[in-house]
Structure 1
């Protein structure tokens, strides 16, 4: 068990201050908070309410799809939309139930208070209804986090969960830390405690969204979870690094990057702008990029066999007009090279989907 859960919080706890999760405020964290705050302020001022309402359902569906996909749910945005509209969907019953539960949970967002244990348990009961017997109750047994067949984290014993969650919720209720940081700290500590028999990942992401939405209602409709899904491997890596370091700074940094990405995309969706002009081939390429992808994966996703044609008609034009960027720009021929969307690429996608 790490000091985060034992209360041995060297350097982060003064006399009489009570429970304090260990985390370090790095320069990048401060810079990200400033960037996100600026973008949220701009979004709040410029957002056309009618346009926001039109995008609300789209983003809610993306949020649900992203969070459940991380847990292995295979339903597409189209299938989730069909369930929302009451249509019959041919899919595994458990996955359909997960979607129905999530739709109900996100509809109840405004009635839950993030620092209240009763609401936390009700949210878990809503998310996991019909999926596990212990929905809405803390776990009664031990649980470990697996990576393939290896246990990478043993959660604290079940008899400590009520006390640990009580400490964490009291800290959340009293901290004066910025919600961008406190929500990320809560998310990490929640996953470390792993208070439920199942559903901890989706609950942690839901609760971070709730903390942010209480600070600014815009976050109820900003699909942060879809960006987390696009960077799923880094999400788990950040959790593990924070556990190894007994400091949630790596996870805070990861989440702030995803929050900033989501806010910037939402800004592009609601702010009238001139759509970047791209060729049909570049448009196809932008449409298949998810997170960071290698040339081989992109070429396969487009169904293209000719490497030279792919490079000349798709990849090079997209790089030249700034719609995509290399992840290792100083080593363009690196075997580890991947490609990602830029703000310009996100803008094209946002306005294309909005149309």
Structure 2
């Protein structure tokens, strides 16, 4: 399908500068990542990618549980969440065979990701769909009958654009989420496809867990999508995604990546005794529920931190401090 469609987008100086920074950082990463370390990182980062992307959609499985599923071990967890992980692992196994500009490949990716989860796996939706925030509809997607044409236009643009892949992948991601072509699974497919576009520019992006960073900033992710829709211009979303990509690339060194779990990041900012609010602000996080589930609870459950008032968990004077185990963990990572 031929089209003259051009997604509305303003390329700001900030976007141009970020592209330059990412290009420089990915160049450095290419030099220091030797083959042996790359194989180790590939597995770790694939697990982080899957956990991040699914966690945005509400999946609660940890990296350890996903690793166990990957190794064929039995995991006690909600069957739907286990199925989501198995589907994601199967999809990423096919990752290298897909072409970003091939619409049939995207449909196949959706079919694999959503197999056994929805009836319309691998098919564009046949009904209306909206994006909800609580009880409020924050985005009403285009009518179902328009989806094939809109997606055709988007793929035709992607096939011929000379826009830098860092920008083009972000534009595609935004436009895809705006169209919301599937009944469910749009978020995970959109993020997967941006990674696919980037990996064709530089193969390292097949193993850099951008989705994990997006998960940590998921409130901002949705805010950037909404702002771009309000402005009818994808530049706010592009700026956000480039910041996520830059942050991920600059922390994805062979020495840092395997240890860069949320719990360890929490330990790295914990000085003395700190409140929940102080910890959340030190980590640069906005979403209290995300902070609690992804950072605080795993660190407590792992015995890396402890409450100063354990008998009154909900006390307004509650603070948190490192345990001996937490201090040893930080010493092992050269932080203590």
Relative to the length of structure 2, the TM-score reads 0.80
In 2, Cα distance between the equivalents of 1:124 and 1:57? 22
1:123 correspondence with 2:109:
yes
Task: Give the corresponding residue for 1:292.
Answer: 284
Deviations 1:250-269 (A, max 9, x none): 10000000100111111353
Task: Give the corresponding residue for 1:140.
Answer: 126
1:269 correspondence with 2:255:
yes
Cα distance, 1:128–1:282 mapped onto 2, change above 3 Å: closer
1:304 correspondence with 2:307:
yes
In 2, Cα distance between the equivalents of 1:263 and 1:249? 21
In 2, Cα distance between the equivalents of 1:138 and 1:72? 22
1:244 to 204, 227, 230: 230
Relative to the length of structure 1, the TM-score reads 0.76
Asked whether the equivalents of residues 140 and 159 of structure 1 are also in contact (C-alpha less than 8 Å), the reply is yes
Instruction: Tell me the SS of whatever aligns to 2:184.
Output: coil
Extract unaligned runs of 5+ from structure 1. 1-15, 272-280, 315-347
Asked whether the equivalents of residues 41 and 254 of structure 2 are also in contact (C-alpha less than 8 Å), the reply is no
Asked whether the equivalents of residues 10 and 234 of structure 2 are also in contact (C-alpha less than 8 Å), the reply is yes
Asked whether the equivalents of residues 228 and 234 of structure 2 are also in contact (C-alpha less than 8 Å), the reply is yes
Residue 304 of structure 1, CA deviation: 3.0
Task: Give the corresponding residue for 2:210.
Answer: 224
Instruction: Tell me the SS of whatever aligns to 1:153.
Output: strand
1:155 to 124, 141, 156: 141
1:107 to 93, 101, 108: 93
Asked whether the equivalents of residues 299 and 310 of structure 1 are also in contact (C-alpha less than 8 Å), the reply is no
1:352 correspondence with 2:333:
yes
1:84 correspondence with 2:70:
yes
In 2, Cα distance between the equivalents of 1:45 and 1:29? 25
Task: Give the corresponding residue for 1:212.
Answer: 198
In 1, Cα distance between the equivalents of 2:267 and 2:123? 50
Asked whether the equivalents of residues 3 and 153 of structure 2 are also in contact (C-alpha less than 8 Å), the reply is no
In 2, Cα distance between the equivalents of 1:195 and 1:261? 29
1:66 to 30, 38, 52: 52
In 1, Cα distance between the equivalents of 2:19 and 2:88? 28
Instruction: Tell me the SS of whatever aligns to 2:270.
Output: helix
Residue 55 of structure 1, CA deviation: 1.1
Cα distance, 1:116–1:291 mapped onto 2, change above 3 Å: farther
Q: Which runs of 4+ in 1 moved over 4 A?
A: 281-284, 288-291, 293-301, 306-311
Instruction: Tell me the matched-pair count.
Output: 293
Deviations 1:94-142 (A, max 9, x none): 0000000000101111100011111010000010001011000000001
In 1, Cα distance between the equivalents of 2:137 and 2:115? 27
Residue 299 of structure 1, CA deviation: 8.4
In 1, Cα distance between the equivalents of 2:63 and 2:196? 22
Instruction: Tell me the SS of whatever aligns to 1:139.
Output: coil
Q: More deviation in 32-41 or 260-269? A: 260-269
Question: What is the root-mean-square deviation in Å for CA atoms of aligned residues?
Answer: 2.9
Task: Give the corresponding residue for 2:326.
Answer: none
